[in-house]
Amino acid sequence: MTCLELFSGCGGLAKGLELAGFKQRAFVEFNKWACKSLRENFDPSLVHEMDVRKFDFQSVGDVDVVAGGPPCPPFSLGGLAKAHEDERDMFPEAIRAIHELRPKGFLFENVKGLLRKSFADYFSYIILRLTFPDCSIPQGMTWRKHLEILRKINPQDYGGLRYDVQYKMMNAVNYGVPQNRERVFIVGMRSDIKVEWAWPSPVPGKRTIAETIGHLATTKKILLPKDHVIVSGAREYPGHSGSNYNAPSKTIKAGAHGVPGGENMIRFPDGKLRYMTIHEAKLIQTFPADYEISGSWGEAMRQIGNAVPVRLAETMGRCMVAALSGNGSQSLPSDGYGVAYRCSPVQLRLAIEKRKKYKGSTATKAVAKKGATKPKSKGGKRVKRQKSVKAKYAKRDV
């Protein structure tokens, strides 16, 4: 299936959709550093570094899905919260893409502030515009007046392009991401193709920071990745105490003016506090270990903080593929490594991610061979794995 990616950022959503089986037709992104990151990890010829308002959607041809994360400052709890009055509100451009390309479906992500009561009317307007994208707003008309018109539309009598739209606030920690990160997902399926969308089911257990980055502490310095560079200056202040090492991370944020706050610090069991490295933040956002993020530490953290966790994006992508192909919901990867992947040590998990030839059956056998047991069905507790499994993959895959 093909996809057009809008407001791509550094590519978290795009990478997840790629892992789910989508082929990207184009990326449209304004930020130069994010575009550089995209070119490092995808086909550079597909990256369009420009204002989306000037982009010709017809130039990409037919696509099955339009996806992206419209800029969130207009709705962010930490921003000015101007919503429709904010010139950074790009939902109108997302709607224009739907209107012009008529994809089978769309997938958009945004901050949970979108569901604030103060934005209720405008959020309703967004949902109705996405539902009836052919019903454009006349020049000079206010969005509130247009909202009244949209609310009076009878779907049975409406002859234009229509989508069945659903939305849900999801916490990434419930889908295999070692981070508490609540975001709103908006999904639409074109009504004439008669398919049903099913939200993914949460996976058992919650991964911690320690399980995700703990292998770095025992890796020889010469073998550490180049983006694992310690940045000094971390300090605690009211509201910014860091994330506990033995728990899922707090939400990694871009921060005001690109400067990350306390959510991007790690608090270790001995009480020490330090900033996450780029590599650590990248793994907590479930990017592949070899994914390149361009720019300085502050710029890279801004990109990572704005990204959709790759694993959650992949989960949503697989559900999209399942819906459009008529196969129902697929909340777990479909190539057989679901349980083995989630419960294996991080080195083996990275091996599975980095090598396409390393299939689920191989992973299952490797874990079982070293004495692995099945995960407990209650409480979400994780079982220990033999050190030999970790040692086997630590040197060549991390």
Cα gap 130→191, rounded to integer Å:
12
**Residue range 65-87, pLDDT digits in tens:** 999 998 755 444 444 434 444 46
Nearest Cα neighbor of 291 from 227, 238, 378 is 227
Q: Are 287 and 38 within 8 A, CB to CB?
A: no
pLDDT mean over 129-149: 93
% of the chain surpassing 90 pLDDT: 65
Under the banding of pLDDT at 50, 70 and 90, the label for residue 96 is: very high
Q: Over the chain, what is the mean pLDDT?
A: 83
pLDDT at 392 over 90: no
Q: Annotated catalytic residue: which of 3, 10, 35, 72?
A: 72
End-to-end CA distance of the chain: 31
Residue-level pLDDT at 362: 53
Residue 72 known to be catalytic:
yes
Under the banding of pLDDT at 50, 70 and 90, the label for residue 260 is: low
C-alpha distances in Å from residue 287, one per residue of 36, 59, 322, 371, 377: 16, 30, 23, 28, 27
C-alpha distances in Å from residue 179, one per residue of 283, 331, 345: 10, 18, 18
pLDDT mean over 364-370: 50
**Could you give all domains of the chain from N- to C-terminal order, each with its CATH number?**
2-203+309-324 (3.40.50.150), 209-306 (3.90.120), 338-397 (no CATH)
Give me the residues paired with residue 237 across strands. 240
pLDDT at 331 over 80: no
Contacts of 146 (CB under 8 A, 6+ apart): 125, 137, 138
pLDDT mean over 355-377: 47
Residue-level pLDDT at 255: 65
% of the chain surpassing 70 pLDDT: 76
Give this prediction's pTM: 0.81
**Residue range 172-223, pLDDT digits in tens:** 999 999 999 999 999 999 999 989 999 999 999 999 999 999 999 999 999 9
pLDDT mean over 367-382: 45
Under the banding of pLDDT at 50, 70 and 90, the label for residue 345 is: very low
- Could you tell me the maximum CA-CA distance found in the chain, to the nearest angstrom? 69
Q: Which of 104-108, 169-173, 223-227, 230-234 has the lowest mean pLDDT?
A: 230-234
